[in-house]
């Protein structure tokens, strides 16, 4: 299924600037004037609403900058998993964004060259295309992608526009949840080394509606989840019980993160599962 991107984009920016649209057979040109400065982007005219699109949207909603200040024109995405960063890089480029800023944050004690080489290989970049920062408080290497200008205006409207479609379309729902889990999900193990809980963690102040939406999506998959508000404004959507966890695995909920999927399968090997079949 495809949709004209023009349908998704508001005609007025958050700061009140009027967006001008021009389209041809394949492309959509967007621009607005902010004083003497012109902001523009030529992107694809149609969005292909496939699995990869909704997986990427889930990733972005999970680890992207979703509540920027009115004066912040950037879209940011950061993660410690370089393969997840690669998925987001591909997703952003679907919109034909040409200027992307990459930053690699490395702990002081980390082996620089090995980490830099890994980042460059995963994203297919040259050394001059990525900035490297050595930070004292960083525990693990992470990469941040930043895009300025018109892309933020497109991105901030995608989830609200497609929310009902995601909830009611099986492929879109499963792709979105899988991408979101790769960004915000955790597989918690028990003291016996078995899977105990699968959870999504959110900000209780800003993401309560998102948490409720995830709970609705899980219910569509016959997964019974609960919501818990923790310390430091954390809000968790979680479920236990092997029936719920296996349904989540079978729907592809772990597919967007090889790391988390491998952890779950490894823990599952330690579990004892009895199967009871009812007779006629």
Name the least confident of 70-79, 139-148, 267-276. 267-276
Q: Please tell me the predicted confidence (pLDDT) of residue 58.
A: 96
Average pLDDT estimate for 246-269: 93
pLDDT at 280 over 60: no
Q: Please tell me the predicted confidence (pLDDT) of residue 202.
A: 92
pLDDT at 230 over 90: no
pLDDT at 109 over 80: no
Average pLDDT estimate for 208-231: 93
pLDDT-derived band at 279 (thresholds 50, 70, 90) equals low
- 41, 23 Cβ separation under 8 angstroms: no
Q: Dump pLDDT digits (tens) for 12-23.
A: 988 899 999 998
pLDDT at 56 over 90: yes
Return the residue matching tokens 């960063």.
Answer: 85
CA dist., res. 251 & res. 194, Å (int) = 20
Q: Dump pLDDT digits (tens) for 155-178.
A: 999 999 999 999 999 999 999 999
pLDDT at 275 over 60: no
Tokens of 73: 């024109």
pLDDT at 257 over 60: yes
Q: Please tell me the predicted confidence (pLDDT) of residue 25.
A: 85
- Rounded mean pLDDT of the chain? 90
Q: Please tell me the predicted confidence (pLDDT) of residue 150.
A: 86
Q: Please tell me the predicted confidence (pLDDT) of residue 274.
A: 58
Tokens of 31: 């621009």
Average pLDDT estimate for 99-124: 88
pTM, to two decimals: 0.90
Q: Please tell me the predicted confidence (pLDDT) of residue 20.
A: 92
Q: Please tell me the predicted confidence (pLDDT) of residue 129.
A: 94
Exposure of 197 by Cβ count < 10 A (0-12 exposed, 13-18 middle, 19+ buried)?
middle
pLDDT at 198 over 90: yes
pLDDT at 278 over 70: no
pLDDT-derived band at 213 (thresholds 50, 70, 90) equals very high
pLDDT at 193 over 90: no
pLDDT at 252 over 90: yes
Q: What percentage of the chain exceeds 90 in pLDDT? A: 58
Q: Higher pLDDT residue, 176 or 110? A: 176
Return the residue matching tokens 């693990």.
Answer: 140
Q: Please tell me the predicted confidence (pLDDT) of residue 231.
A: 76
pLDDT at 71 over 70: yes
Q: Please tell me the predicted confidence (pLDDT) of residue 234.
A: 84
């Amino acid at each position: 299924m495809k949709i004209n991107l023009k349908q998704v984009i508001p005609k007025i920016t958050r700061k009140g600037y009027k967006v001008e649209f021009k389209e041809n057979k394949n492309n959509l040109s967007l621009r607005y004037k902010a004083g003497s400065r012109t902001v523009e982007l030529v992107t694809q005219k149609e969005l292909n609403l496939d699995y990869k699109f909704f997986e990427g949207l889930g990733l972005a909603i999970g680890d992207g900058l979703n509540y920027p200040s009115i004066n912040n024109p950037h879209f940011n995405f950061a993660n410690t998993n370089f393969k997840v960063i690669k998925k987001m890089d591909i997703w952003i480029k679907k919109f034909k964004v040409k200027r992307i800023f990459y930053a690699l944050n490395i702990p002081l004690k980390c082996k620089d060259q090995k980490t830099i080489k890994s980042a460059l290989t995963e994203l297919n970049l040259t050394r001059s295309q990525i900035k490297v920062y050595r930070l004292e408080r960083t525990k693990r290497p992470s990469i941040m992608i930043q895009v300025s200008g018109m892309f933020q205006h497109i991105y901030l409207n995608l989830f609200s526009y497609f929310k009902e479609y995601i909830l009611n379309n099986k492929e879109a729902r499963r792709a979105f949840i899988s991408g979101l889990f790769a960004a915000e999900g955790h597989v918690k193990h028990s003291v016996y080394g078995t899977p105990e809980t699968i959870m999504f963690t959110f900000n209780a102040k800003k993401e309560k509606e998102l948490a409720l939406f995830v709970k609705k999506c899980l219910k569509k998959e016959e997964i019974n989840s609960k919501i818990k508000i923790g310390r430091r404004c954390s809000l968790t959507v979680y479920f236990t019980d092997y029936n719920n966890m296996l349904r989540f695995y079978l729907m592809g909920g772990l597919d967007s993160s090889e790391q988390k999927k491998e952890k779950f399968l490894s823990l599952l090997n330690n579990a004892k599962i009895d199967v009871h079949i009812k007779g006629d």
